[in-house]
């Protein structure tokens, strides 16, 4: 029975989110495991998939999910591939503008008729034009300050607002549950005020509780009367409220308010993709050497994306991000740890 259910689940996932390039990801070679790293195979069409062998992993289209997003996988939470725990979207804001570029929602110019900007991988910041997407970069394994790391660059096609951006994505041997995103502009890009990398699917784990130095805040209290099918307005949080470590790094932390996902009651119309059955986890952003202008932002939803089905337990956090004036090469860390928020905060301090 399980052998029949897996293909059916993969088909449903693909239909829900749409396949970006048209390439069947099931026909691509699975990744290599070399030491502590998972990396794409070379020389033949392969899955664009990188990360810690026992920790967090990321992938790109054509793996299941919308175009214009980095997929985030957490198999250590008993949530195996190809199920996605969260996504990272690119949302640049050119100088003097307020509207964000939206990597997930803008139409592609490289693939006409496809929604979502095309992402591709490279081993260096010099691959400015997209190579054959069926042959992802392997990533570079190297020692940095005595620690083994895996680095891969993720580029996006130009945005409608003139932004041309990429990120340097880096994993560290000693930190299996997080990765670093350093943000850059390409030559010819419009000058940016901001380049926001946002975690876009907090509703999957139903994140509701935020943790600060002065206490906790709940999405249920932030938007107590919200019952619409759209996103809530953004809530803003100063970095002065955020928990800090001894080096002055700030942590923007969110966690679910549920103890046992297996007890969740969903409406009949809720799509199977939203029915999270993995372990509880704490999600977070870190910014080292934060500026005074750094803020934490988030919005929420009462219903699941693209549906009228209410989220069990009420309005939950959806987009979850840090916003700081853009500096080329500025780095942010995103993580999903199996530690409880209390244990994670104790570890920080």
165 within 8 A of 185, measured Cβ to Cβ: yes
- Average pLDDT value for residue range 2-12: 34
pLDDT band with cut points at 50, 70 and 90 for residue 132: confident
Structure confidence at residue 7 (pLDDT):
35
Contact 308, 229 (CB under 8 A): yes
State yes or no: pLDDT of 217 exceeds 80: yes
Bridge partners, 165 (sequence order): 185
Please, are residues 197 and 183 in contact by the beta-carbon 8 Å criterion? yes
What mean pLDDT comes out for the span 161-190?
Answer: 98
Q: What is the pLDDT of residue 20?
A: 41
Q: Which of 174, 177, 175, 156 is nearest to 165 (CA)?
A: 156
Tokens of 102: 């939206």
Residue 21 has what pLDDT?
43
What is the arithmetic mean of pLDDT over 130-135? Answer: 80
pLDDT at position 130: 80
pLDDT at 5 over 50: no
Going by the DSSP 8-state scheme, the letter that residue 75 receives in this structure is G
Whether the CB-CB separation of 106 and 93 falls below 8 Å is answered with: no
Do 154 and 169 contact (CB within 8 A), yes or no?
Answer: yes
Q: DSSP H helical segments within 92-234, as ranges?
A: 202-205, 219-222
Contact 234, 348 (CB under 8 A): no
Tell me the pLDDT tens digit for each residue of 138-175. 999 999 999 999 999 999 999 999 999 999 999 999 99
Mean pLDDT of 56-68: 97
Secondary structure (H, E, C), 263-295: HCCCCCCCCHHHCCCCCCCEEEEEECCCCCCCE
What residues contact 26, with CB distance under 8 A and at least 6 apart?
A: 10
CA distance 32 to 57: 13
Residue entry with tokens 């929420």: 300
Res. 3 pLDDT band, cuts 50 70 90: very low
User: Averaged over 273-284, what is the pLDDT?
Assistant: 96
Average pLDDT estimate for 105-128: 94
The answer to whether the bond into 158 is cis (omega within 30° of 0) is no
Length of the chain: 349
pLDDT band with cut points at 50, 70 and 90 for residue 24? confident
Model pLDDT for residues 281-327, shown as the tens digit of each residue: 999 999 999 999 999 999 999 999 999 999 999 999 999 999 999 99
Q: How far apart are the first and last CA of the chain?
A: 48
Q: What pLDDT is stored for residue 16 in this prediction?
A: 39
196: nearest Cα among 289, 292, 97, 323:
323
Mean pLDDT, the chain, integer: 92
pLDDT value, residue 128: 73
Tell me the Ramachandran region of residue 271: left when phi exceeds 0, alpha when psi lies from -120 to 50, beta otherwise.
Answer: beta
pLDDT at 133: 73
Query: Does 186 have pLDDT greater than 90?
Result: yes
φ, ψ dihedrals at 65, nearest 5°: 140, 170
């Amino acid at each position: 029975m399980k052998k029949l259910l897996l293909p059916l689940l993969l088909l449903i996932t693909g239909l829900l989110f749409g396949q970006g390039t048209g390439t069947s990801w099931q026909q691509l070679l699975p990744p290599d495991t070399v030491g502590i790293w998972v990396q794409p195979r070379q020389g033949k069409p392969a899955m664009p998939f990188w990360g810690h062998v026992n920790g967090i992993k990321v992938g790109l289209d054509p793996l299941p999910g919308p175009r214009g997003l980095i997929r985030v996988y957490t198999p250590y939470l008993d949530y195996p591939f190809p199920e996605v725990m969260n996504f990272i979207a690119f949302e640049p804001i050119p100088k003097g503008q307020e509207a964000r570029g939206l990597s997930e929602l803008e139409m592609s110019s490289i693939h006409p008729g496809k929604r979502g900007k095309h992402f591709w991988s490279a081993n260096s910041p010099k691959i400015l034009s997209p190579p054959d997407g069926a042959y992802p970069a392997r990533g570079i394994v190297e020692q940095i300050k005595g620690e083994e790391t895996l680095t891969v660059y993720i580029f996006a096609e130009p945005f409608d607002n003139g932004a041309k951006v990429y990120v340097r994505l880096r994993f560290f041997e000693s930190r299996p549950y997080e990765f670093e995103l350093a943000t850059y502009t390409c030559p010819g890009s419009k000058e940016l005020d901001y380049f926001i990398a946002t975690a876009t699917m907090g509703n999957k784990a139903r994140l509701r509780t935020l943790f600060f130095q002065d206490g906790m805040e709940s999405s249920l209290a932030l938007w107590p009367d919200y019952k619409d099918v759209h996103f809530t307005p953004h809530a803003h949080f100063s970095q002065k409220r955020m928990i800090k470590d001894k080096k002055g790094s700030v942590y923007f932390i969110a966690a679910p308010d549920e103890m046992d996902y297996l007890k969740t009651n969903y409406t009949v119309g809720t799509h199977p993709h939203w029915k999270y059955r993995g372990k509880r986890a704490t999600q977070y952003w870190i910014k080292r050497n934060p500026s005074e202008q750094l803020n934490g932002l988030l919005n929420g939803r009462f219903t699941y994306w693209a549906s009228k089905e209410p989220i069990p337990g009420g309005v939950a956090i959806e987009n979850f991000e840090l916003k700081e004036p853009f500096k080329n090469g500025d780095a942010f860390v995103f993580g999903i740890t199996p530690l409880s928020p209390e244990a994670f905060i104790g570890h920080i301090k």
